[in-house]
Structure 1
Amino acid sequence: MARHSGGTGTEHLTVEREGATLILTLNRPEAKNALSLAMLVGLYDAWLAADADDTVRSVVITGSGGSFCAGMDLKALAAGGGMAGEHYRDRMKADPDLHWKAMLRHHRPRKPVVAAVEGYCVAGGTEILQGTDIRVAGRGATFGLFEVRRGLFPIGGSTVRLPRQIPRTHALEMLLTGRPYTADEAERIGLVGRVVPDGAALDTALGIAERINACGPLAVEAVKAAVYETAEMTEAEGLAAELERGRPIFETADAKEGALAFAEKRDPVYRRA
């Protein structure tokens, strides 16, 4: 499937479109895609664009140059230079919460987000990962929350999210030791869902996204919303909320199209209606 530009992006965030999938590439390879203001602004704008465009059915996030994201640029911070991309400072001042939305701490995209990880996915990279829905990693990928080793706190949401996503003993070991984790370890503890040969993470993620894109978009978005909104409910509350989300889907034209296409032995044509 042909790939083409999917939006403006920034110098540190490339936005492309492949079919119904928006591909976001963290693009600062000389710094292992360490966070910059340009990257954060690009991510924030891209999440909003994906939510607003009904022709986008999924998002894949990845990194360039063989790494996903190495988190904060500690060398720049140590040198007193702050984050790269000061010409975006006005955007940050206009919305002081922008960086947290960009990193998926204070924003949950409406569309499914698939992460394709190669190389370093540490500190802020592992924190962004926790805001994604489906995660694929190359076998040589490295994960971890290194903040305590530098006397820092993983304030991107990890002390809250990680123990809810993986067993608490594994979450606390990752948080309190600051040690690196291999892709195989990350899969074993449930941080990622698939480990594939190095260099294959993006193609695998795009394949997953294509399967999602073939499904009814209203159903997909309702299912994702139900999973997250019921996560902290009691079982009774969750089941009631699931019915509220799920019942209206059966009345849609897409639901009727899905059944008709099955009966006629053809691919469904969904219209978000």
Structure 2
Amino acid sequence: MNSADEPHLKVERDGNVVVLTMNNPRRRNALTPSMITSMAQAWDEIDANPDIRAAILTGEGSSYCVGGDLADGWMVRGSSGKGSPPPERKSAGSVITDGLLLTRSLATPLIAAVNGACLGGGCEMLQQTDIRIAEEHAVFGLPEAKWGLIAGAGSTVRLKRQIPYTKAMEMILTGEPLTAAEAYHFGLVGHLVPTGRSLEKAREIAAKVCANGPLAVRNAKASIVTSGWLDEQDARQIEQRFVIEVMRSGDAKEGLAAFSEKRAPRYTGQ
């Protein structure tokens, strides 16, 4: 196997959009330590770059991601050696949780283009994405319990908040998957498209996000994520902090001016 065939994360920049492709098609894009390390680094770089206004996560070939490679067993043992964390990171464990978006939420809007099987860790990462497109042949599942494991990279906390409680329990406790049509019906994904069209749809949505005020978009996402499921009074206090910052910005003034002058706004993110 040459270096091009090694499992890796492919990162491509297209204007204000970054497309990240999990590339391990021989193993249905199963995640390796080096891939997760690359993902953790990519999230840092995306959020640090104000010119990146949207990110898309997808898989190579006909699968999205089937989680960690259980045959290798590294997720149980922990990562070491190849794919170990860079010096500034505290531990291999922190790289895994960062890479899988367990201990962080990307500040930049993140769109999932689910082009096939979305299982295990792949399905757990999905729950931290903001906008989700599924191809009609995709399946979504958390089979960990079948192998004596627990879907513990966020699913026992997040999934019941994103789809009906009883379906979340059924997915986690039985390990049986949902079809793409079922995932759309229960609201796990927001768009259902023909095979081969998920990335196209994701780019279309990303373009709409990028056309909006970048500060407004980031603050709206931050308010939603930070307020979580707090009661309304506490959540409103959080919301107001983000609203005030946006309303005092140059982008807000530009947006109102563009509206009154009937022209396209020219946002700077300031």
Give the alignment's TM-score, normalised by structure 2.
0.92
Distance in 2 (CA, whole Å) between partners of 1:85 and 1:160 is 28
Give the CA deviation at 1:123. Answer: 0.7
Give the CA deviation at 1:29. Answer: 0.6
| 1:58 counterpart (42, 50, 54) | 54
Contact 1:13 1:42 in 2 (8 A): yes
Distance in 1 (CA, whole Å) between partners of 2:61 and 2:159 is 27
Distance in 1 (CA, whole Å) between partners of 2:96 and 2:76 is 18
Q: What is the total number of aligned residue pairs between the two structures?
A: 263
Contact 1:76 1:82 in 2 (8 A): no
Distance in 2 (CA, whole Å) between partners of 1:14 and 1:197 is 24
| 2:203 counterpart (192, 202, 206) | 206
Task: Say what the alpha-carbon RMSD is for the aligned residues.
Answer: 2.1
Structure 1 residue aligned with 2:221: 224
| 2:173 counterpart (154, 163, 176) | 176
Structure 1 residue aligned with 2:3: none
Structure 2 residue aligned with 1:5: none
| 1:248 counterpart (226, 236, 245) | 245
Structure 2 residue aligned with 1:7: none
| 1:98 counterpart (95, 98, 105) | 95
Give the letter for the 2:33 counterpart. L
Give the letter for the 1:113 counterpart. L
Structure 1 pair 91–248 and aligned structure 2 pair: CA distance change class (3 A): closer
Give the letter for the 2:82 counterpart. H
Structure 2 residue aligned with 1:161: 158
Distance in 2 (CA, whole Å) between partners of 1:76 and 1:212 is 39
Question: 5+ residue gaps in structure 2?
Answer: 1-5
Structure 2 residue aligned with 1:133: 130
Contact 1:35 1:83 in 2 (8 A): no
Contact 2:34 2:84 in 1 (8 A): no
Give the CA deviation at 1:120. Answer: 0.7
Distance in 1 (CA, whole Å) between partners of 2:37 and 2:245 is 36
- Are 1:149 and 2:141 an aligned pair? no
Distance in 1 (CA, whole Å) between partners of 2:73 and 2:186 is 32
Give the CA deviation at 1:43. Answer: 0.5
Structure 1 residue aligned with 2:117: 120
Distance in 1 (CA, whole Å) between partners of 2:241 and 2:71 is 50
Give the CA deviation at 1:272. Answer: 1.2
Distance in 1 (CA, whole Å) between partners of 2:85 and 2:241 is 41
Give the CA deviation at 1:90. Answer: 5.0
Contact 1:38 1:85 in 2 (8 A): no
Give the CA deviation at 1:262. Answer: 1.5
Structure 1 pair 26–84 and aligned structure 2 pair: CA distance change class (3 A): farther
- Are 1:25 and 2:24 an aligned pair? no
Give the CA deviation at 1:86. Answer: 4.2
Distance in 2 (CA, whole Å) between partners of 1:152 and 1:114 is 28
Structure 1 pair 138–85 and aligned structure 2 pair: CA distance change class (3 A): farther
Distance in 2 (CA, whole Å) between partners of 1:83 and 1:201 is 33
Give the alignment's TM-score, normalised by structure 1.
0.91
Structure 1 pair 90–130 and aligned structure 2 pair: CA distance change class (3 A): closer
Structure 2 residue aligned with 1:16: 12
Distance in 1 (CA, whole Å) between partners of 2:7 and 2:117 is 20
- Are 1:36 and 2:32 an aligned pair? yes
Distance in 2 (CA, whole Å) between partners of 1:247 and 1:268 is 20
Distance in 2 (CA, whole Å) between partners of 1:129 and 1:85 is 25
Give the CA deviation at 1:76. Answer: 2.3
Contact 2:131 2:190 in 1 (8 A): yes
Structure 1 pair 121–109 and aligned structure 2 pair: CA distance change class (3 A): same
Distance in 1 (CA, whole Å) between partners of 2:213 and 2:98 is 27
Percent identity over the alignment is: 40
